[in-house]
Structure 1
Amino acid sequence: MFVVPEILLHFHTDANGVLPPAFGNGRISPMPRHPNFSPSVLDIAGAVYSALAHRLATHKGEVYPLHVGDTWMEPPEGCRMEDLRVAEHPGMHRYAAPQGLPALLDALVEQTRARSGAPTERENILVTTGATGGLGAVAGAILAPGDEVLLLAPHWPLITGIVQSFHGVAVEVPFFGRADSPESAVEVVREYLTDRSVALYFNTPSNPTGRTIPRPWIEALVEWARREDLWILSDEVYEDYIFSGEPHTYCRPLAPERTFAAHSFSKAYGMAGNRCGHIAGPAGAMKELRKIGVHSFYSTPTASQLAALRVLQGPGEAWVGQARERYRAVGERAAARLGVAPPQGSTFLFLDVADRLDGRGLTGFLEDCVDRGLFAAPGPSFGPYPTHVRICFTAAPPDVVERGVEVLAALLGR
């Protein structure tokens, strides 16, 4: 008779002791010993934005680095690292409280209430090392080995590795371009539901598609997730950058008992290098997230939190308003030149280049781009999209982006 070791009893097994596929093709196998590594980690992509990025340093001529989601704009004046001084902020190089600076927590509570209408207190907030660190804390808190997270695809590329890092299974659900109504949105996702599914992840405005998910679709997906008793991971880091259509739909008010909402100072205020974001979620669950935070990043850099507090208390909204109009303009010009629909939000365009691929496939096309100084992100980083590329139209100054778009348009024969 097979006996499941006591340490593994909290994992989902059947009567024969069968574990998820991550464990030796479904059966318990020895833990990896030197020099082997965790199978979950071995499956994680090492380069998600460009396997050719190392050529940035050696390319002769102008480069167009449109492969990473970032901005050419500096944060608002008064909110930059150069504006912080020890004389004004004694202890700014020491650890902050693991949950976050109290003043920043209070500012985030106020902002969250004002924007979403969701009842929010300090215990609903965790300040994190970017939304990336925050979503990692969510994954660590809710996943047991082999648990599945349904990812609406194309999806933000790092979410796959985050799920795998905590020994979960990322299930990619081709969604954008398939769903066309609230009912079909649910049907598309239901196809991938199994008894191992524990959570649903989506991001809107979307990285990489530049599309937004309409409110009725989100409401239908949330209600379905409630019926199926799933957690919801709502990635809302581009909430400030919607260019057309209805305002952003905040998911947490629709299902506060099961929703973790991810927010980012990186995307909102041009502070990607600071590594500061936050998660809002159910108070009881946030206690578990704080455990993961303490044992992974411990606390978000203190100086980054001080800069975040400054931007919330001062010029943040005005800066966002200016950035949104500048982003909109460059995004619309890039889309028009490439012959695709303008972005509804975020800072990306996602293009199918299938008709320009030769026997070398997408790798060959990306190499041709790099030979001309253009760096784009490969479609497979975002799901099952072997003929797509993504560009970020805010990753460089507008004139550089436009020259890079001309390179891409020429390669596409447009």
Structure 2
Amino acid sequence: MADEPAWSGRVMYGSLLIDSIQPECRAMPKHPAISPAAQAVRGAVYSGLARKPASGRPPVPLHVGDTWMDPAEGCRMQDLNVDDYPGLHRYSPVPGYPELRDRIAEVHGRRCGVATGREQVIVTAGATAGLAASVSALVAPGEDVLLAAPYWPLIAGSIRAFHANPIDVPVMTEAETAGDAVACFERYRTEKTVAVYWNTPHNPTGRLLDREWLVALTDWAREHDLWIFSDDVYEDYVYDGEHVHSRALAPDNTISVHSFSKAYGMAGNRCGYLAGPENAIGAIKRIVTNINYSACSASQRAALNALNGAGQPWVDAAREKYAELGRHAAEVLGLPPPRGGTFLFPDVSGVLDERGLDGFLGDLAEAGVLVAPGPSFGPYPNHVRLCFTAAPPDEIRRGVGILADHMRR
């Protein structure tokens, strides 16, 4: 199990008496000191480029999860104006425009099979902000959140920022069966465990958690009264199998996390949403009010246009293109094709020299390709992650070819 920090003292958190979040022998920070929580959070999670590539061309950005495709017509910023959308530059209601929340409730409820109302939905400034607010609202300082590793890298930082403990559970690389997955989580569960996090389709491996696994995992979480942070942001991008919503299996325990960035190519808009129990969504709303107040008004209008029909043809076309690029990248790299999502996570241990992964990343960067280092996703010092949708297809193929050459050396 991952090492845990030493804590001292006990404090009241609501009606609960819990371990203090003050590290041993450390006074509260005073100017100009920085808080321990901020120091524990990574300032960057991706590899950088120390020198220009030898070719002189801009590097192929396989390191960041994004798309080269612009949003659908009707969902771009130039498609919105104050004549059609009065109040476009004013605050929206904190939980989002009512008409957007109603439409989300309808679409999400139909997809997951759980009747959903407006009060069970909150629109957030991206899925990232939504997950951070969920942690703040539902996890007390000093408590543990079990992360299905490897995991989306920013979740660990969000947990640390709110003085809780992310616990790496290598379920995605060690478990072969649903029973193995439950046993893996159970080995790391303690009396401090209050929540679990997983994402499917999976960032970074491209795997898909099937129904058998999710039934077993949600049953286990309910048995132990754990919150489930279910990251469903790639639900539209399944190439082999079906996406199963954890909320359909454990609606009273699950915060379902969604992203217009990933679904409709709107990463710069910073707009996502959460669906879950009304009391939990209400608590999250209180946190959101005091952090960013509300999601961008124009982004919400674009999101509503996407859900009202403009976005679906775009998603269908993107899915076909993403699937082809994923199959190509996997074949070139000698990996199984991704079942969903936009990522692959190869093990490069066979080509590392005495410089380790840093040396490999540096050589690759000089050759003109950026990838994300495995340690950003958990205890994976010999892996890298690539996104096969972050640049136009010809550039992706060129970058994957360079990566493959380096993996064969």
1:171 aligns with 2:167: yes
Q: Residues 11 and 145 of structure 1 are in contact (CA less than 8 Å); yes or no, is this contact kept in structure 2?
A: no
Give the Cα separation in 2 of the matches to 1:6 and 1:193. Answer: 22
Q: Does 1:137 align with 2:136?
A: no
What TM-score, normalized by structure 1, do the two folds share? 0.94
Pairing partner for 2:263 from 254, 258, 268: 268
Map of 1:199-214 to 2, 5 A cutoff? 199-214=195-210
Change (3 A) 1:80 1:42: same
SS in 1 for 2:248: helix
Q: Is structure 2 residue 238 aligned with structure 1 residue 230?
A: no
Q: 2:43: which partner in 1?
A: 46
Residue 256 of structure 2: SS of its match in structure 1? strand
Please, which of 300, 319, 323 is the counterpart of residue 305 of structure 1? Answer: 300
Whether 1:60 and 2:59 are equivalent positions in the alignment is: no
Change (3 A) 1:231 1:23: same
1:234-245 paired onto structure 2 within 5 Å: 234-245=230-241
With over 3 angstroms needed to count, the CA separation of the structure-2 counterparts of 1:305 and 1:54, relative to structure 1, is farther
| Letter matched to residue 181 of structure 2 | A
Report the Cα offset of residue 315 of structure 1: 2.1
Residue 35 (structure 1) aligned with residue 37 (structure 2): no
In 2, the alpha carbon distance for the partners of 1:259 and 1:397 equals 36
Quote how far apart the aligned CAs of 1:30 are: 2.9
Question: TM-score with structure 2 length normalisation?
Answer: 0.95
Rate the CA distance shift 1:213–1:5 in 2: closer, same or farther, 3 A. closer
Please report how far the alpha carbon of residue 55 of structure 1 lies from its aligned counterpart in structure 2 after TM superposition: 5.5
- Amino acid of the structure 2 residue aligned with 1:24: P
In 1, Cα distance between equivalents of 2:172 and 2:13: 38
The CA RMSD over aligned residues, in Å, is 1.9
Aligned residues of 1:79 and 1:311 also touching (Cα < 8 A): yes
User: Structure 1 55/137 Cα, relative in aligned 2: closer, same or farther at 3 Å?
Assistant: farther
- 1:185 CA drift (Å): 1.0
- Are residue 24 (structure 1) and residue 23 (structure 2) matched? yes
Q: Deviations over 1:40-75 (max 9, x none)?
A: 21011111022x157679982242011000000011
Q: Which residue of 2 aligns with 1:16?
A: none
Pick aligned residue for 1:69 from 57, 62, 65:
65
Sort the Cα spacing of 1:89 and 1:57 in 2 relative to 1 into closer, same or farther, 3 A.
farther
Looking at structure 2, the residues matched to 192 and 269 of structure 1 have their Cα atoms a distance apart, in angstroms, of 36
SS of equivalent residue, structure 1 residue 399 = helix
For residues 55 and 271 of structure 1, do their structure 2 counterparts lie closer, same or farther at Cα, with a shift above 3 Å needed?
Answer: farther
Listed as ranges, the matches of 1:147-296 within 5 Å are 147-245=143-241, 247-296=242-291
For residue 45 of structure 2, what is the amino acid of its counterpart? V
Q: Describe the superposition over 1:153-205 as per-residue Cα deviations: whole angstroms up to 9, x where unpaired.
A: 00000000011111110001001131111211100110100111000100000
Task: Say how many residue pairs are matched.
Answer: 402
Cα distance, 1:5–1:377 mapped onto 2, change above 3 Å: closer
Separation in 1 of the partners of 2:136 and 2:395? 40
Report the Cα distance in structure 2 between the residues aligned to 1:9 and 1:271, rounded to whole angstroms.
Answer: 38
Residue of structure 1 in register with 2:90 after alignment: 94
Relative to 1, partners in 2 of residues 1:170 and 1:411: Cα closer, same or farther, differing over 3 Å?
A: same
Q: Which residue of 2 aligns with 1:333?
A: 328
The answer to whether 1:385 aligns with 2:384 is no
Aligned AA for 2:96? G
Determine the structure 1 residue equivalent to 2:367. 372
Q: Deviations over 1:282-330 (max 9, x none)?
A: 0011110000110111000000000000111122111111100000001
What one-letter code is carried by the residue in structure 1 that aligns with 2:348? V
2:3 corresponds to: none
Aligned to 1:403: 398
Q: Percent identity?
A: 50
Q: Which segment is superposed worse, 314-323 or 207-216?
A: 314-323
User: Does the 8 Å CA contact 2:227/2:254 hold for their aligned counterparts?
Assistant: yes
Deviations 1:88-138 (A, max 9, x none): 111101111001011111110110121111110000000001110110110
**1:79 to 2:75 alignment:** yes
SS in structure 1 of the partner of residue 172 of structure 2 = coil
* 8 Å Cα contact 2:53-2:59 kept in structure 1: no
Going from structure 1 to structure 2, the CA distance change for 1:166 and 1:4 (only over 3 Å counts) comes to closer
| Unaligned runs of at least 5 residues, structure 2 | 1-7
8 Å CA contact 1:262–1:280 kept in 2: the answer is yes
Distance 1:102 1:232 in 2: 26
User: Which ranges in structure 1 are unaligned for 5 or more consecutive residues?
Assistant: 14-18
The whole-number CA distance in structure 2 between the counterparts of 1:296 and 1:387 is: 37
Stretch moving more, 230-239 or 3-12: 3-12
Distance in 2 (CA, whole Å) between partners of 1:12 and 1:388 is 40
